[in-house]
Amino acid sequence: MGNPHLIVFANEKGGTGKSTTAVHTAIALSSLGHDVAMIDLDPRQRTVTRYMENRRETARRRGITLPTPTFGVFTGDSIAALDDQVVELAQGRDFLVVDTPGRDDVFARHIAPHANTLVTPMNDSFVDFDLIGQVDPETFKVRRLSFYSELIFETRKTRAKVDGVSIDWVVLRNRVQHQDARNKKRVGDALMELSRRVGFRVIPGLSERVIFRELFPSGLTLLDKGQLGDLGVSHIAARQELREMVSGLALPVGEGAKATDLLGAA
């Protein structure tokens, strides 16, 4: 693959903000000066592809330069075809970001074991928690791992034995409800308990904010300074959440002025 850092965003449940976080992570890395490529594994929805196409059109229409990853959508019907596209896009890149469908998918299962960083976004609810573990309905203590968690757990052990690489599995906690403190604590406690068993990291993601949906038609992000007009307090808070999310992924972005500019204070 040319040894790029492979970041796979995967969750078999839809509606978790997976594509939104994948896009913003890739653009953040591009903004830091890295050579980034993206593969969209959902040829039906094409959310990532449409976002990037909108971004490219906005840059053309406004006559500006926007940091944009190279991107492609996978439309093949075989593992070999996927491998070929991965190799082609990965050559000479610093990062390769893969967005997978929000369902059980053979191609997502194939590429996830090759990840350096595996990101599982989830909404802050026990409906989404059920993907990775089941809890007791009375005590909310974790009763057992889900099939998905067992799959990733075994995959990480196999990868470590085969090539000595440890997959950094990150559970991204999106749409945390600040109003419901009891639910927030219960979900948080269950995640911490499960993380100790399975070995993933838990980091804060993005809140439910209209601005992320509003920016889709233009393909812009909150990191595109100078292109968004006047920002309100909530938008500034959302930008800081985005910075903290990228920082929490602990990707090998290096040091320097560009990283400080992106991840520093709002």
The 3-class SS string of the chain reads CCCCEEEEECCCCCCCCHHHHHHHHHHHHHHCCCCEEEEECCCCCCHHHHHHHHHHHHHHHHCCCCCCCEEEECCCCCHHHHHHHHHHHHCCCCEEEEECCCCCCHHHHHHHHHCCEEEEEEECCHHHHCCCEEECCCCCCEEEECHHHHHHHHHHHHHHHHHCCCCEEEEEEECCCCCCHHHHHHHHHHHHHHHHHHCCEEEECCCCCHHHHHCHHHCCCCCCCCCCCCCCHHHHHHHHHHHHHHHHCCCCCCCCHHHHHHHCCC
Mean pLDDT on 61-80: 96
Q: If you average pLDDT over every residue of the chain, what do you get?
A: 89
Q: Which CATH class is domain 5-263?
A: alpha beta
pLDDT given for residue 178 in this prediction: 63
261 confidence band (pLDDT: 50, 70, 90): low
Confidence of residue 255 (pLDDT cuts 50, 70, 90): low
Can you give the pLDDT at residue 53? 97
pLDDT at 24 over 70: yes
Q: What's the pTM value of the predicted model, to 2 decimals?
A: 0.91
pLDDT at 265 over 50: no
Per-residue pLDDT at 159: 87
| pLDDT at position 163 | 83
Q: Kindly state the average pLDDT of the residues 91-103.
A: 95
Q: Given this model, what pLDDT does residue 58 score?
A: 97
Mean pLDDT, residues 247-258: 78
User: Tell me: the pLDDT tens digits for 184-241?
Assistant: 889 999 999 999 999 999 999 988 778 888 899 999 998 888 888 777 777 888 888 8
| Confidence band for 2, pLDDT divided at 50, 70 and 90 | low
Residue 263 confidence (pLDDT) above 50: no
